[in-house]
Structure 1
Amino acid sequence: MPAKDSVTGTILIATLLCVVCSLAVSAAAVALRPYQLANEVLDQQKNILDAAGLPTDEFGKPASQLSKKEIDNLYTWVSEQMVDLDTGEFNEEMDPADFDLVESATDPTLSTEIVPDPYDPGEDRRPNTMKVYFVRRGGEGPIRQVVLPIYGKGLWGTLYGYLALKSDLETIQGITFYQHKETPGLGGEVDNPSWKEQWNGLKLYDENGEPAAQVAKGPAPETDPYSVDGLSGATITSRGVTALVQYWASDQGYGPFLKKLGSKIKQESTAGDTAAASKPGNSTKKVGA
């Protein structure tokens, strides 16, 4: 055993200390990983609920101010399904719980190359299937909102978020971003509640059915049903948000799915009206008949 004050002893002690610290840090990382994953899931649930406007509607405050129990109860209103983006059909074979957006987008066997024409989200690929979310009061009844995962390039990296549509599938309910690298106070203003609130009621498509929702250059005209205010000092981020929203609304993104879902909702609504009209007591009698 070398002397403690020798060079060899010093190196040995330092090495042992490094090994012990490394093992401790690794053990802590492994032990805390389940809690980290749980927090990531909880954060995404909060963003989904905020995009759909449920916390404000039901509690008068954003999801960040709700307890975990309140979040869990409110999230029972949400159901998840996998959708084939090319066909717009539901994929019943895939389990939504197993879906990983980043992994799917980077795997050539699970994704499709993005053609940046006419809409360019700044990304190379998008998954063949995506997990979408349906919001129903109490988890039952007609669809209130549809929440769509979205992503695209900003200034410093990819923005990941959710776009919620009202039941007409043409009007935006809300938008949130749960992960991005934009500069605080500039592009980071995508997290500003007052800016996000401007998206509520915005029209996603123009009169010709083309994606039209956008971030304006500067203040948005009050009469413009498609625009929100530009992000001051963050031109590239503003363009990126416009590009990603329009891409995912297009036929390259959720377009086929939204068209088929819209037809299904109309058919169910018509069938419901017909059934209600056929119930006893709902028929109209002529006076004197």
Structure 2
Amino acid sequence: MADREWNPWRRLLALPNESRTKTVAVAFLVSAISAALVSGATVALRPIQTANRAAEEQARIAALVEGIPGMATILEQSGGELSTVVVDLSTGRAVADLRPAMLEAALLDADNWTTLDAAQDLAGLGQRPNFIQVFLLRDEDEVSLVLLPISGQGYGGRIDAILALAGDMNTVAGIAITNHSETPGLGGRIVEAAWQAQFPGTELRDNSGQIAFRVARGQAASLYEVDGITGATRTGRGVTQMVRFWLGPDGYGPLIDAIQRGEF
């Protein structure tokens, strides 16, 4: 009688190919080896995948911001890495479970808006969203620039803009008017590069911490003013009130405080 083979692997291989036991065992082994290889590849490729997702996100943000007239130049001058975050305006903190891609759907819910009373509503909006997407430019660990969407009522209707603030959160780095209904040749001149070019370097708050920015009725006479547009007093007042509202306590005030405390 031949010696019995005690090696299980050799015993398995010795079985006929049509053996059900051999078929099941080989299938199990192939599945186990494949799973191990896939798991290993996933672990090995995870850093590359993370880097690729980060690069894609940067490209998406850059494309979005560069579509805003004048913002590409401001970003080039500032340097750093651009990121985006959804902020709870009441607290000034990032909303961890609300990504920018989810914001539009979230704002379809009336509960995610705050009604403004007459004393609050400097910008003439009636209500403002509880959550909003902002853009931050970082130089190493510090915020060097923040891009803030703002809106308000002008003479002809709503004015939308992006206001860029330098890292001190008190100096305007630039402005881009993205939508308006102002009178061509009068208030409509707020889209002109020459008028917007006055904003960089303008300060928002005086030494007491009060918001002092305004569009002057004529020529600017202080660090807190930009020239008005002849024949467009109501448009200028609309821009003034829009900036004052959004930089105040019912707008980005809590966010600005958080950035100045180093929480972003």
Give TM-score scaled by structure 2 length.
0.70
Offset from partner CA, 1:50-94 (integer Å, 9 cap, x none):
287125x38xxxxxxxxxxxxxxx9x9321101111111111110
CA change 1:117–1:191 in 2 (3 A) is same
Give 1:183-202 correspondences, 5 Å limit: 183-202=183-202
Offset from partner CA, 1:112-132 (integer Å, 9 cap, x none):
012332651011100001111
Query: Which secondary structure state, in structure 1, belongs to the residue aligned with residue 93 of structure 2?
Result: coil
2:214 corresponds in structure 1 to 214
Unmatched segments (≥5 aa) in structure 2: 1-61
Unmatched segments (≥5 aa) in structure 1: 1-40, 59-73, 269-289
2:44 matches 1:46 = no
Identity of matched residues, %: 34
Q: CA deviation at 1:253?
A: 0.5
CA distance in 1, matches of 2:206, 2:225: 11
Given residue 189 of structure 2, which amino acid in structure 1 is its aligned partner? E
Query: Which secondary structure state, in structure 1, belongs to the residue aligned with residue 94 of structure 2?
Result: coil
Q: 2:256 aligns with which of 255, 258, 268?
A: 258
CA distance in 2, matches of 1:176, 1:187: 15
2:86 corresponds in structure 1 to 82
CA change 1:258–1:264 in 2 (3 A) is same
CA distance in 2, matches of 1:149, 1:81: 12
CA distance in 2, matches of 1:190, 1:49: 13
Q: Could you say what the CA RMSD is over the residues aligned between the two structures, in angstroms?
A: 2.6
* Structure 1 runs, 4 residues or longer, greater than 4 Å off: 41-44
CA distance in 2, matches of 1:228, 1:83: 29
Larger Rg over CA atoms: 2
Give TM-score scaled by structure 1 length.
0.64
Native 8 Å contact 1:147 1:164 kept in 2: yes
Q: Which structure carries more strand by proportion?
A: 2
What is the aligned residue count? 203
1:125 corresponds in structure 2 to 127
Q: Which moved more, 1:46-55 or 1:174-183?
A: 46-55
1:110 corresponds in structure 2 to 112
Give 1:62-101 correspondences, 5 Å limit: 77-100=81-104
CA distance in 2, matches of 1:124, 1:107: 16
Native 8 Å contact 1:51 1:173 kept in 2: no
